[in-house]
Structures are given as C-alpha cells and as structure tokens.
Amino acid sequence: MSNRAAEEVDVVDVVVIGLGPGGEYVAGRLAEAGLAVVGVEAELVGGECPYWGCVPSKMMIRAGNLLAEARRVPGMAGAARVEPDWTPVAAPIRDEATDDWDDRVAAERLTGKGGRLVRGRGRLAGPGRVSVAAQSAGEAAREFTARRGVVLATGSRPQIPPVPGLAGAPYWTNREAVSAKEAPASLLVLGGGSIGVELAQVYARFGTRVTVVEALERLVPAEEPEAAELLAGILRKEGMELRTGARAAEVRHDGGEFTLVLADGTRLTGERLLVATGRRPDLGELGLETVGLDPAARALPVDGRMRAAPGLWGVGDMTGHGAFTHVAIHEAEIAVRDVLGRGGPDADYRALPRVTFTDPEIGAVGLTEEQARERGLRVRTALSRVPSSSRGWIHKAGNEGLVKLVEDADRGVLVGACSMGPMGGEVLYGLAVAVQAEVPVETLLHMIYAYPTFHRGVQDALMALRQRA
C-alpha cells in the first residue's frame, strides 16, 4: 500500500478509544449506522464486565447461592448433603464465559458490524486526532484523524490504597479473584463495598475463612444503613469476620501468607488478600491536555449529551456517574445519538438503579435518606421487613430483607428506595419506575400488588409512609 493510500485509510469518521461495554456499544452502533469507525482496544474487546467483572462474579454468586439454598433444605424439605467444589465454578468462567480470556468472538462482533479494530493503547493527539502506541519494537505508532470526532470509553481500574507494604505484595484484585482455579483456605478482603461483599460471601460459602476490613463504620457505605446492618448480621452468621471502622496500617507477605496489621495493632492473616477499595478512571495517559482538558481530573467532565469538548465524547466509568455497565450503555446510547445528530433526551441519573448481588440482594435506586436530607428536601421515610410479609413468612430460611422508601414530602413522590431481600434486585424495578416517572405516592398506594409476592413489601412500606404523613 502506498503512503498516500495509508493516509486515506486512516482518516475515518469516528475513533472510539476503549472497547468495554460503553465503547463497544458506541463503535458497533455507529458502524451499523454506516460511519467509518475505528475502535482502539488495549486489552480485550468487551472490557472489564464480561472478563473480570459482572459476568464471572455473578456466575460465582449463582454457585454460592446454590450452596446456601441447599444448606436451607434441613427443616424445610428434608435432608441435603452439600460438598462445595470450586472446579465447576472456575471451569465455565474460563471455558464458556471468557473463552480463556480470549476476545475473538467480541472482536468479530465489532468487525461484523463494519467497525475496524485496532489493538493498542490510544491517546488524543489534538482535536479529532488519535495516536495508537506501537504494540512491539519495530512497529510504528499509528495516527488517525476522526472527521466527526473521538469517543473516549476507557473505563476504570482498581484504586490501590497507599498502605505500607501493599504495593510490592502479590495481592488479588477482582481479576485474580474471578479467575482463581481454587478457593483459598483463607481470604482477607480490604474494602467492604460491592466487590468486597459479593466476593467475600461467595468464597465463604465455598469454605474459605474470610475476613472483611472496611475503613468506614459500615459495609456497603453508599447504601442505606439499615441494609448494611442487616447484611453485616447475615455475613457474620455465615461465619465471616467483619472489621468495620478499621484502618489498615501495614501489609506483610511471607511464607505464602499475608498479614494485615490494623491501626489498633490487630493482626489478621490470610492465604490471599483481595484489594477491593474502589475503582477510578485513569485519565493521565489519554492526552487530554492536547484538547484543553485536565488530565489530572478525577473523572472526565461531560454534559448531558456526553460531550467533553467539541468533537469529543466520553462514556462509562470514566465519566464518574456510577461504575455500572447499565450506566456505560445508557451514556453510550446518548453519545451515539449525539454523534449521529439525532435528538432524544439528555442523560438522566435521578433513578439510577444499583444492585449489590449478595444474598440477600440489595437493590437501590435514586437517593438514600442521607443524600435526600443533604439536598435539603423535607424527607419522609418508611421501612417494611420481608419476614413480616406473607411471602417472607412463607419463604422462611433466607427471607431476610427490607424495603425502605424515601419520599420528598413536599412533592409527594419517591426520590429513592432500597429493596433488599430474595430477588431484591428484581423488586427494585417497580420502585425505579416510580422514582423515574415521579409517580405520586397516592397513586402507588392505591395500586393492586399481586399476592403473595416479595414486591408486596413495597405496599407495606407505602402504608407505613402514609401513617407518618
């Protein structure tokens, strides 16, 4: 190919940097719309979610929940002998979900839609310009000009706290935790957020001795305190040791064992140490300064149409609106519409749903009570407990949970809710509609709720809410 031909090929309509759920969606949709699209990916097409995040972790959780259900058989349905085995958990993650961490299928999904895949680490080289670093010595860096613009979708990476001794130690992040071939005998989990509690519970159910260390006063601190308290009780009952309000002062690793020294001098030991202390976008190496943006920012600032600058869009974890696959895809769809010059609503996070897939699941939408109060709303709340509902009583073992409602009393609408329990993430849906559509509490109160469902707990909580009016 002549140099001139090479130059022509490298002028495209759109370059997407990062092909996780957000970037893959944008690149695929724009290619299907007929644009000349280059997608640049440094690791695996599909990103964190299918290979090291949502999908494998939920496969592990499904297995752990099966064990827990089987252990609930005595007293309710006869006898059951449970022998946990990690092999049928690890094997389908490797062979079926991730193709042994090979993205050929995902890459072909993109090229099948007409997109072009370029492997390597991309960065901005000015407005509408992207360079992709050489993958190996002897290979030249590649340059692209994007006529319509560039979409950034580079996700996030684990945030490792500056605990002395941690940096050099062979700790696990989510990646090692979901690709482990065996369950360790013991596991220290630093961080009691969603990754920490989901994976802690799974491993504990497979016989691992688990200790969770959380710096703040409660687990899942972003969610309602009543849910956190209930979860802590359940995890303790399942045999986990929980240290909340605990600061890690030092990490040591020797003789195949980790020692985590807490600020109060307590020493905790474990065969493995999982660091799950949050994830952060890494904007430093993206060349943002070449388009007048701050590479030291915590997240990429975007407007309601995902625009970061003229001809530059950002979607997914890197925008800081919530590190969830459904947020990445919501934002990706808005960016696609904007690139194509189509209308439609701006991004709307009022009814942002989130589910922590512990057993019981913690579903949540919109504002917590604390957030609503911080916004100066006149807040009214109410709570119903799953075991007190008909379905909860019928369910018996494993029926822990609650529904908590947060009402803006001045407007008579829900601004937030928490649905914890068996299928708490599914019960959430109706509450998400109520928050999104601002359905009056009076209307919700006079609906018919199927008997005996878990979601009837919402009606119990609504009735409690009205008694407080």
Ligand X SMILES: Cc1cc2nc3c(=O)[nH]c(=O)nc-3n(C[C@H](O)[C@H](O)[C@H](O)COP(=O)(O)OP(=O)(O)OC[C@H]3O[C@@H](n4cnc5c(N)ncnc54)[C@H](O)[C@@H]3O)c2cc1C
Residue numbers of the site for ligand NAD (CB under 6 A)?
A: 161, 190-196, 198, 213-216, 221, 248, 276-279, 323-324, 354-357
Would you state the torsion angle of the CA atoms of residues 32, 124, 157, 362, taken in this order, to the nearest 10 degrees?
Answer: -50
Does the footprint of ligand X cover residue 122 (CB under 6 A)?
Answer: yes
Judged by CB under 6 A, which stretch of 93-101, 325-333, 343-351, 455-463 contacts ligand X? 325-333
Helix extents (H) in 284-396: 325-339, 369-374, 390-395
Stretch that binds ligand X, among 182-190, 218-226, 317-325, 421-429 (CB under 6 A): 317-325
- CB-facing half-sphere around the CA of 217: CA atoms within 13 A: 3
Tell me whether residue 31 or residue 268 sits nearer to ligand NAD (CB atom): 268
Q: How far apart are the C-alpha atoms of 428 and 431, rounded to whole Å?
A: 5
Q: How many helices (H) and strands (E) does the chain have?
A: 15, 22
Alpha helix stretches (DSSP H) within 276-398: 325-339, 369-374, 390-395
Q: What is the footprint of ligand X within residues 35-54 (CB under 6 A)?
A: 40-44, 47-49, 53-54
Comparing CB distances to ligand NAD, the nearer of 142 and 218 is: 218
Nearer to ligand NAD, 107 or 420 (CB): 420
DSSP secondary structure string, 140-180? Answer: PPEEEEEEEEEEE----EEPPP--TTTTTS--B-HHHHHH-
Binding status of residue 419 toward ligand X by CB under 6 A: no
Q: Which residues pair with 212 in a beta bridge?
A: 189, 242
- Per CB under 6 A, does 109 bind ligand X? no
Q: Cα separations (Å) of 336 from 33, 66, 259, 293, 339? A: 10, 40, 48, 22, 5
Residue from 12, 15, 16, 21 in contact with ligand X (CB under 6 A): 21
Interface residue with ligand X, options 323, 347, 428, 434 (CB under 6 A): 323
SS3 215: coil
Residue 195 as a binder of ligand X (CB under 6 A): the answer is yes
* Residue of 150, 153, 268, 461 that binds ligand X (CB under 6 A): 153
Quick one: what does residue 328 bind among ligand NAD, ligand X, none, with the CB cut-off 5 to 8 Å set by partner type? ligand X
Taking the complex as a whole, the smallest distance from the CB of residue 364 to ligand NAD amounts, in Å, to 10
Of 22, 270, 425, 430, the one binding ligand X (CB under 6 A) is 22
Dig out the tokens for 247 from the structure: 């600061």
Cis peptide before 360 (omega within 30 of 0): yes
Query: In the complex, which residues of this chain contact ligand X (CB under 6 A)?
Result: 17-23, 40-44, 47-49, 53-54, 57-58, 121-123, 153-156, 174, 195, 316-317, 323-326, 328, 357
